[in-house]
């Protein structure tokens, strides 16, 4: 983790930092969106895969500050990696995220539960504003708050606000501005009084590690073993202190928590008048159905069907527009610019790459639109409750269901949707196994190969054998995903305490601003994070199939022209032949020939090898490349579009006629076709997915591991299938 | 010997009882920070569709707990 020196006092050189902190379900993100609007972006805390949202706010006096949205936290005694981030930053004034001012958000309708973390932060003696959120619902429920009294007792400004309506946002900004400009040192008596042993431990840690605040010293004592910024010598020092004082950390944490409740419960009771009971029967009635034994899962699968429909079907319209738009743009440039390598770089490299990025946007936007709504209304935690056990067996989380189901449309948005899983290991496993689910890009490959290898006969008079095999491919992907999850769980086997223990929040209408900002933020981070990589790889793949060693390409072109002239071919046929020969002579073609010995055991020849390489940009390129290699006309070759059954039939005929150059046997035997099917079902043949995995896990390690593992598995399985059927 | 306590697992649907203590200190840390304290009345609402998780209400807060988590919360008889 980077250590920036805390530059207190030298004014402009460090931007003012404000930390937004609060419990989960306190409406914190609504407040964040209210304060920052579109001036926000998502990043990661260094070293961990916990997200931090960062936004700019302006005080009424024009001063600018950075607002960091920390993950929802119950306590500075963390039980998850999300919560550990907050404790880490608060324990380390040198941390780049360490705030100048704290903005604490509490749900005023649950104030007696939401002040624990607040009182802990009070004892760190940072300037702080307490925002009592959902003041509008509180008024509706007949809850009266005496914020003046709370402010006097806690010694911090207290502002009742509503993140949804924006009520009192200005006052909140004014109070923060006041804290910043006054810059007065904070004199507060500690909220929590240490026990005798806590005093001794905190004092010893304070002196040895030169920490100013006693409570920060106590926190450091509790957390020393895992705090990432402590040096080993410091960890040993603290461990020795804990040992000599026989300090029981966990016990002390629970006792302190209870003591804090005992102290602030009377305060909240005095400052807030709550009507006798507001049982929220609406939520209970909804949950009686949505978490019902039978109806719960049924409704969930119907909802998932809707999600699937959205990304599989509805998004194809905007996707087609984007593809057509880029195709037209490419044609335009081809016709206007001279026929040279740089025109091809522009059309086949850059434009194809940009199109390849943008084409994902409709799916990502639609998926996140639906997921944000489900998250906003409070449904997602019910999903976790219902599927916790099922998914935990395979190392995942109830929320992973959404990723896996979305994965059958496209792994890219599906992997991004795993962001809602807070447990790192469960999220990692979800990210790693989602690409096994057969995505829509595999469909054209499946269709061509199944049509080639599987006879169109009926089984038992009802089932079409081809459809059965098609279904079996999906089942293969699903089973492999679960098996891989199970294996990864065994392999990682972290002894980290994992809890379900989640709050099931009250159902409420989605706040549309949150939904739309969430969609925007996810689309933006996909384009900025994974898009760059996709563009670079697209250009690299173009270069590989455009250029060859020495003058091989020019030679191939010449001999193709001679051959075409001899056979008396027309212009299009000549062009097709030239294209075919050029691809064969290119680096990609060379690589295909070079790798033939490696893929021959699977029953593939070098042409399939080329298609395997080029389809690394996107699986559906497989059929397009084969069309070029088997010298199909342009019109025939457009088989990626689902309606072009004729083109598929033509390709199939060409494939059937293909023979191995040495043995003279047909390339596409049943065994080869099945082996290719299995290979495509299991292999990581999608660079966009790898780019997203890198973006989501923070480095190339997991993306690389995923690539190696899936490729090896695909290779072995394809080989086994080939051997079995030949 | 007669047991002096029971756990959430022993509660019938719609039955409630006061929590006395937590057996697992890690979970105690988590639950107390969420506002489930000794003395909090816990009501069993339902079990999850595929079993092994419980939907409970603790002092108005709706919570989902795993079987083993529920088993570590001791309730008064």
Q: Which residues of B touch A293 (CB under 8 A)?
A: 46-47, 49
Closest chain A residue by Cα to residue B34: A74
- The residue among A504, A505, A507, A508 with the most chain B CBs within 10 A of its CB, best to mutate, is A504
- Position A614 pLDDT exceeds 90: no
pTM for this one?
Answer: 0.85
Residue-level pLDDT at A279: 61
How many contacts, defined by CB atoms under 8 Å, are there between A and B?
115
Residue-level pLDDT at A467: 84
A283 touches chain B (CB under 8 A): yes
Q: Which residues of A touch B33 (CB under 8 A)?
A: 74-75, 77, 79, 116-117, 257
A548 touches chain B (CB under 8 A): no
- Position A673 pLDDT exceeds 60: yes
In angstroms, what separates the C-alpha of A227 from chain B's closest C-alpha?
18
Q: Which residues of A touch B62 (CB under 8 A)?
A: 283, 287, 503-506
Residue-level pLDDT at A182: 81
In angstroms, what separates the C-alpha of B58 from chain A's closest C-alpha?
10
CB contact under 8 A, B30 and A79: yes
Parts of chain B with a pLDDT under 70? 1-3
**Residue-wise pLDDT tens digits, A373-418:** 998 999 988 998 999 888 988 999 888 988 898 888 889 888 988 8
A251 touches chain B (CB under 8 A): yes
Residue-level pLDDT at A3: 36
A499 pLDDT band, cuts 50/70/90, is confident
A235 touches chain B (CB under 8 A): no
CB contact under 8 A, B62 and A261: no
**Residue-wise pLDDT tens digits, A237-290:** 999 999 999 999 999 999 999 999 999 999 998 888 876 555 668 899 999 999
Closest chain A residue by Cα to residue B60: A279
- Position A497 pLDDT exceeds 70: no
| Whole-complex ipTM | 0.95
Option in A257, A385, A505 nearest B53 (CB) = A385
In angstroms, what separates the C-alpha of B51 from chain A's closest C-alpha?
8
Residue-level pLDDT at A92: 95
DSSP A193-247: PPPHHHHHHHHHHHHHHT-S-HHHHHHHHHHTTT-TTS-HHHHHHHHHHHHHTT-
A494 pLDDT band, cuts 50/70/90, is low
Option in A258, A387, A503 nearest B37 (CB) = A258
3-state secondary structure of B46: strand
Of A481, A431, A366, the closest CA to residue A692 belongs to A431
Closest chain B residue by Cα to residue A378: B62
Residue predicted with more confidence, A649 or A331: A331
> In this predicted structure, which of A77-91, A262-276, A443-457 has the lowest mean pLDDT?
A443-457
Q: Which residues of A touch B66 (CB under 8 A)?
A: 388-389, 499-501
Q: Which residues of B touch A505 (CB under 8 A)?
A: 62
Option in B29, B47, B62 nearest A250 (CB) = B29
Option in B28, B46, B64 nearest A254 (CB) = B28
Other CB atoms closer than 10 Å to residue A28's CB: what's the count?
Answer: 27
**Residue-wise pLDDT tens digits, A284-314:** 999 999 999 999 999 998 998 888 788 778 8
Say if CB A126 and CB A153 are below 8 A apart: no
In angstroms, what separates the C-alpha of A254 from chain B's closest C-alpha?
5
CB contact under 8 A, B61 and A261: no
DSSP state of A79: S
- How are strands ordered across the β-sheet holding B16-22? A502-503, B61-66, B53-58, B41-47, B16-22, B73-75, B6-7
A257 touches chain B (CB under 8 A): yes
Of A83, A65, A81, the closest CA to residue A21 belongs to A83
CB contact under 8 A, B49 and A116: no
Residue-level pLDDT at A677: 92
Q: Residue A19: phi, psi to the nearest 5?
A: -100, 130
Distance CA A421, CA A500 (A): 12
Say if CB B18 and CB B5 are below 8 A apart: no
Residue-level pLDDT at A143: 85
A654 pLDDT band, cuts 50/70/90, is confident
**Residue-wise pLDDT tens digits, A167-220:** 999 999 999 999 988 866 677 789 999 999 999 999 999 999 999 999 999 999
For the record, the structure tokens of A287 come out as: 């949950």
DSSP state of A520: H
Tell me which residues of chain B have a C-beta less than 8 Å from any C-beta of chain A.
22, 25-35, 37-38, 45-53, 55, 60-66, 69
- Position A637 pLDDT exceeds 50: no
Residue-level pLDDT at A701: 93
Beta bridge partners of A512: none
Say if CB A544 and CB A586 are below 8 A apart: yes
Residue-level pLDDT at A518: 87
Mean pLDDT of chain A: 86
**Residue-wise pLDDT tens digits, A130-179:** 999 988 888 887 888 899 999 999 999 999 999 889 999 999 999 999 99
Distance CA A532, CA B5 (A): 60
Residues 369-398 of A with CB under 8 A from B: 381, 384-390
Beta bridge partners of A572: none
CB contact under 8 A, B29 and A75: yes
Q: Which residues of B touch A81 (CB under 8 A)?
A: none
Work out the burial of residue B12: count CB atoms within 10 Å of its CB; fewer than 13 is exposed, 13-18 middle, 19 or more buried: exposed
CB contact under 8 A, B29 and A287: no
Closest chain B residue by Cα to residue A72: B34
Closest chain B residue by Cα to residue A76: B33
Residue-level pLDDT at A48: 62
Quick one: average pLDDT of A320-325?
90
For the record, the structure tokens of B10 come out as: 């022993």
Option in A113, A296, A386 nearest B35 (CB) = A113
Helix axes A700-725, A424-433, angle to 10 degrees: 40
In angstroms, what separates the C-alpha of A525 from chain B's closest C-alpha?
32
DSSP A137-178: HHHHHT-EE-HHHHHHHHTS-EEE--TTT-TTHHHHHHHHHH
**Residue-wise pLDDT tens digits, A326-382:** 989 989 998 999 888 888 888 888 888 888 888 889 988 998 899 889 989 999 889
Q: Which residues of A touch B46 (CB under 8 A)?
A: 291-293
């Amino acid at each position: 983790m980077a250590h920036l020196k805390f530059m207190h006092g030298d004014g402009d050189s460090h931007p003012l930092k404000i930390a937004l902190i609060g419990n989960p379900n306190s409406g914190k993100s609504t407040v964040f969106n209210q304060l920052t609007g579109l001036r926000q972006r998502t990043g990661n805390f260094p070293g961990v895969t916990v997200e931090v949202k960062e936004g700019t706010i302006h005080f009424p006096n024009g001063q600018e500050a950075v607002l960091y949205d920390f993950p929802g936290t119950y306590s500075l005694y963390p039980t998850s990696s999300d919560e550990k981030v907050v404790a880490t930053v608060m324990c380390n004034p040198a941390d780049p995220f360490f705030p100048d001012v704290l903005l604490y958000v509490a749900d005023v309708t649950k104030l007696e539960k939401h002040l624990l973390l607040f009182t802990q932060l009070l004892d760190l003696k940072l300037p702080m504003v307490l925002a009592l959120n959902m003041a509008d619902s509180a008024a509706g429920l007949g809850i009266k708050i005496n914020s003046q009294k709370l402010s006097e007792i806690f010694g911090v400004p207290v502002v009742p606000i509503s993140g949804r309506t924006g009520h009192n946002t200005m006052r909140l900004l004014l109070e923060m501005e006041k804290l910043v400009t006054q810059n007065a040192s904070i004199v507060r008596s500690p909220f929590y009084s240490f026990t005798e042993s806590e005093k001794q431990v905190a004092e010893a840690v304070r002196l040895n590690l030169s920490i100013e605040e006693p409570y920060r010293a106590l926190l450091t004592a509790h957390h020393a073993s895992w705090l990432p910024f402590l040096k080993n010598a410091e960890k040993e020092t603290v461990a020795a202190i804990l040992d000599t004082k026989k300090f029981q950390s966990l016990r002390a944490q629970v006792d302190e928590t209870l003591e804090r409740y005992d102290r602030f419960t009377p305060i909240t009771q005095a400052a807030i008048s709550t009507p006798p009971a507001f049982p929220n029967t609406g939520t209970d009635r909804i949950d009686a159905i949505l978490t019902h034994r039978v109806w719960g899962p049924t409704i969930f699968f119907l909802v998932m069907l809707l999600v699937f429909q959205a990304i599989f079907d509805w998004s194809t319209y905007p996707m087609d527009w984007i593809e057509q738009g880029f195709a037209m743009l490419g044609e335009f440039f081809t016709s206007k610019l001279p026929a040279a390598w740089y025109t091809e770089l522009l059309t086949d490299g850059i434009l194809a790459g940009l199109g390849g990025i943008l084409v994902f946007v409709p799916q990502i936007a639609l998926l996140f639109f639906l997921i944000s709504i489900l998250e906003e209304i409070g449904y997602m935690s019910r999903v976790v409750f219902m599927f916790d056990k099922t998914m935990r067996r395979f190392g995942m989380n109830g929320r992973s269901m959404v990723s896996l189901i979305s994965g059958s449309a496209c792994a890219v948005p599906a992997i991004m949707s795993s962001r809602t899983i807070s447990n790192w290991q469960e999220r990692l496993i979800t990210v790693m196994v989602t690409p096994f689910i057969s995505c829509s890009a595999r469909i054209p490959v499946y269709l061509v190969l199944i049509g080639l290898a599987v006879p169109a006969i009926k089984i038992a008079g009802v089932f079409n054998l081809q459809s059965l095999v098609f279904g079996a491919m999906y089942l293969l992907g699903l089973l492999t995903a679960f098996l891989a999850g199970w294996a990864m769980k065994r392999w990682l086997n972290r002894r980290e305490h994992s809890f379900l223990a989640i709050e099931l929040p009250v159902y409420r209408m989605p706040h549309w601003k949150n939904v739309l900002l969430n969609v925007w933020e996810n689309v933006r981070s996909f384009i900025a994070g994974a898009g760059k990589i996709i563009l670079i790889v697209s250009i690299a793949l173009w270069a590989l199939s455009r250029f060859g060693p020495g003058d091989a390409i020019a030679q191939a072109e010449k001999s193709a022209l001679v051959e075409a002239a001899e056979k008396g071919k027309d212009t299009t046929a000549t062009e097709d032949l030239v294209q075919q020969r050029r691809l064969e002579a290119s680096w990609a073609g060379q690589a295909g020939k070079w790798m033939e010995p490696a893929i021959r055991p699977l029953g593939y020849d070098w042409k399939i090898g080329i298609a395997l390489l080029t389809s690394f940009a996107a699986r559906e390129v497989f059929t397009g490349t084969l069309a070029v290699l088997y010298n199909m006309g342009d019109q025939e070759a457009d088989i990626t579009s689902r309606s072009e059954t004729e083109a598929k039939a033509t390709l199939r005929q060409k494939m059937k006629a293909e023979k191995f150059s040495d043995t003279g046997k047909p390339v596409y035997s049943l065994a080869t076709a099945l082996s290719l099917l299995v290979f495509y079902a299991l292999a990581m043949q999608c660079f966009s997915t790898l780019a997203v995995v890198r973006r989501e896990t923070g480095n190339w390690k997991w993306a690389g591991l995923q690539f190696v593992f899936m490729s090896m598995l695909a290779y072995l399985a394809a080989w086994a299938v080939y051997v079995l059927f030949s | 010997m007669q047991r002096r306590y029971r756990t959430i697992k022993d509660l019938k649907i719609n039955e409630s009882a006061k929590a006395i203590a937590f057996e697992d200190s890690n979970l105690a840390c988590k639950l107390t920070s969420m506002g489930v304290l000794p003395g909090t009345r816990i009501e069993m609402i339902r079990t999850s569709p595929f079993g092994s998780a419980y939907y409970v209400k603790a002092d108005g807060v709706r919570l989902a707990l795993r079987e083993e988590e529920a088993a570590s919360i001791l309730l008064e008889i």
